[in-house]
Structures are given as C-alpha cells and as structure tokens.
Amino acid sequence: MPNALEEVRALLRNQGFEELMDNADKAASYCRSIGEAAYRGDELTIEVHLRQLRLCCLAMIKTFKEDIGGQGVAAGQGRSQANGEDQRPGDGVA
C-alpha cells in the first residue's frame, strides 16, 4: 500500500503532465498563428506570438524539470551530462 508521500508525488506528477498537455496545445496554436502571420507578412503579430511561444516553452521546460523529470530514475542511473559530455549539439535546454 503506497504511503501518503508517494500518493502526493504521483498526484503532482500527474498535474505536471496535464500542465504540459495544456501548454503544448497553446504552443501549437502560437505556431499556427506565426505561420499565418508569416503568410500575411505581419511582422508585429509574428513577434508577439514568438514571445508567447518562447514563454510557453520555458514554462514546459520548468514543469518537466521540477514536476516530472528525474522521477523514477535512481541517483546515478540517468545519463551523465557533466561537462556536456553526453550532450549533442542542439540538445541544450533553454
């Protein structure tokens, strides 16, 4: 039988996944709007939606790192990224 702490962690993790889904939907909407604005040549709208998309992505990264990432991986079993040794170009997180 799981203890109360495990139940709270599971609940927070599930809420993190729900938040990621919501933000992913928003990000997709911003991307569509950017494409439509680019088609029209509307620079102001592109800039606004790019800023919104950036904030949305940063929020998703934060949610993943704080609420989801590393859950279920025992210390020392995850990929080592000390000095970026396992990181390929383009794998960086904002």
Task: Give 30-88 pLDDT, tens digit per residue.
Answer: 999 999 999 999 999 999 999 999 999 999 999 999 888 755 433 334 444 444 444 44
pLDDT at 28: 97
Domain count, the chain: 1
As to burial, measured by CB atoms within 10 angstroms (0-12 exposed, 13-18 middle, 19+ buried), residue 20 is: middle
C-alpha 8 chain-centroid distance: 21
Is 21 domain-assigned? yes
Is 88 domain-assigned? no
Is 24 domain-assigned? yes
Give the domain range for residue 19: 4-68
pTM above 0.85, yes or no: no
Is 41 domain-assigned? yes
Measured distance CA(45)–CA(38) in Å, rounded: 9
pLDDT at 21: 96
Please report, for residues 15, 32, 33, 63, 70, the alpha-carbon distance to residue 66 in angstroms, rounded to integers and kept in the order given: 12, 28, 29, 5, 9
Task: Please check the confidence at residue 6 and state whether its pLDDT lies above 70.
Answer: yes
Give 1's pLDDT tier (boundaries 50, 70, 90).
low
- Is 17:68 a contact under the CB 8 Å cutoff? yes
Is 93 domain-assigned? no
DSSP 8-state secondary structure symbol assigned to residue 92? -
